[in-house]
Amino acid sequence: MNLVRPPALVPIKKKPKLVHLSSSLYCYEVKFKEIVLYLLERKMGSSRRNFLMELGRKRGFQIENELRESVTHIVAENNSGDEVLEWLQSAKMTKANTCQILDISWFTECMGAGYPIKIECRHQLQVKRISIDLLNCSASFNPPVSSSCVHVSPYACQRRTPLQDINTIFTDALDILAENYEFWENKGPRVKFLRASSVLKSLQSPIVSMNDLEGLPLLGDEIKHIIEEIIEEGKCCRVLDVLNSERYKAFKVLTSLFGVGLKTAEKWCRMGLRTLEDLKSKKDLKLTSMQKHGLLYYEDIASYVSKMEADAVEHLVKNIICEFVPDAIVTITGGFRRGKNVGHDVDILITCPRRGVEKNILHNTINVLKNQGRLLFYNVIESTFNETKRPSRSVDALDHYQKCFLILKLLKQEVEAEKSKDDGWMSLDDTEHRNWKAVRVDLVITPHEQYAFALLGWTGTPQFERDLRRYATQEKKMMLDNHALYDKTKRIFLRARTEEDIFAHLGLDYLEPCERNA
């Protein structure tokens, strides 16, 4: 008797074909076999690294857990090429010398495109270390070029301005005079001195005589007279008068207090208040919550923030955010992105490729910091951005992003953790025998489609940003701010995924952040 098997109630699934297993628990088809990636965990964190590795494998990329001979591309986040190379060599991973060392931006752009995009200069982490012999040799064959022989643009966005200023004796004087005009709220002369100082900062050779000023823009007779006096006397009497004036000294102190602007400083000066001691002794003086906390933690906030402390803050914030938004992009901006080793605060820009997800990031982060006892003060400003509004006409206009100005309790042990990653250790001030330091931090949230504009705007310097917007208006008939770029001739908004796209729209050569120290 033949027994007939009844039909299966549940269709039998075919066993999936094993295509690739790259040290992962899951199998994904490898679409791009010529590329083998390795994501460096240093400064990225294990949870974010695991998330990105899984995401890449789903897109068809081959990603190794360990650095093997087959690896062709090493991807790092918030590391310089030197840092990556040094760390890999210390771990005896010599394979790094034959691999492409790339910034995380290349990887994230590949994820968005769904395939390996072309590697551009901006994606590559450059190794800048040069042997002393080679440096001396090149110096002997390349003497400094006189500034008068080189065309210098009146726009800072067309000048490569390095971090190192070789004309500080002149630029410091001009900056002091500009600051004094700012305290008097006299915008015209202030802008004139700032522009002149910016030109001198971009020069590749020191000014030693008045002939070196020939052909330089934005240097009027008044400024040339100041420079000539410094060349001949080594100082400027006008600058010394400003530094010794009671009003200038009072404004320097008062405006250094968190939450105090020019109007408040002027009001307090009229009341006879000149110093912090004056503020503390006047019991009936009404201070805002921001000003009270600024006064309470003044010594910490007024001191410099080291690059290592800034890295520790970024690491803390990124770890918190990536716990609930693993694909968030968290970037230090401001002076630290331009290559500075010290600053007054830490500016962090935050976004997410998934539309709308960024809206809850700030409040979730604040809640975690609050629960950890890290928040000494915070003030959240909600977004007031209008998508239909054109960019502001003012070169000094503020943006409308959701942001939080806070004072963070940074633990000494967190900074010491960064010490193991960097030789340039700068310790916290231990004068009060406590294990933490109050640090000023700004958290800024931006939609991903506006991220390039926000990154450009928050990287600075202020003079670079002013000239960039001025150039857009005067030379290209466009309007630029931290949100968008608008072409007034075509009456359209110009899209940009990267800073390079914005420079290209404006017809400008791209300047790296380290070249924007105007």
pLDDT digits (tens, 9 = 90+) for 435-445: 999 999 999 99
Interval 15-27: pLDDT, tens: 443 334 344 445 7
How confident is the model at residue 275, as a pLDDT? 96
Q: What are phi and psi of 99, to 5 degrees?
A: -105, 160
Span 402-427, average pLDDT: 77
Q: What is the pTM of this model?
A: 0.73
Percent of the chain with pLDDT over 70: 86
Q: Are 170 and 224 in contact (CB under 8 A)?
A: no
Q: What is the dihedral of CA 439, 435, 337, 502, to 10 degrees?
A: -50
Which of 68, 70, 67 has the alpha carbon at shortest distance from 84? 67
Residue 134, pLDDT score: 29
Domains in the chain, start-ordered, CATH in brackets?
A: 15-143 (3.40.50.10190), 147-243 (1.10.150.110), 253-296 (1.10.150.20), 305-449 (3.30.460.10)
- Which residues carry out catalysis? 345, 347, 442
- What does each C-alpha distance from 193 to 20, 197, 220 come to in angstroms? 63, 6, 10
Given a cut of 70, is residue 358 above it in pLDDT? yes
The C-alpha torsion from 16 through 21 and 25 to 28, rounded to 10°, is: -50
Q: Is the dihedral of CA 497, 472, 463, 159 positive or negative?
A: positive
Is the pLDDT score of 197 beyond 80? yes
For residue 256 the two structure tokens come to 């250094």
pLDDT score at 8: 41
pLDDT of res. 437: 96
- Cβ burial of 90 (10 Å; 0-12, 13-18, 19+) is exposed
Q: What is the pLDDT of residues 105-139, one digit of tens each?
A: 888 888 877 889 888 878 888 765 433 332 333 33
- Indicate the pLDDT class of residue 467, thresholds 50, 70 and 90: very high
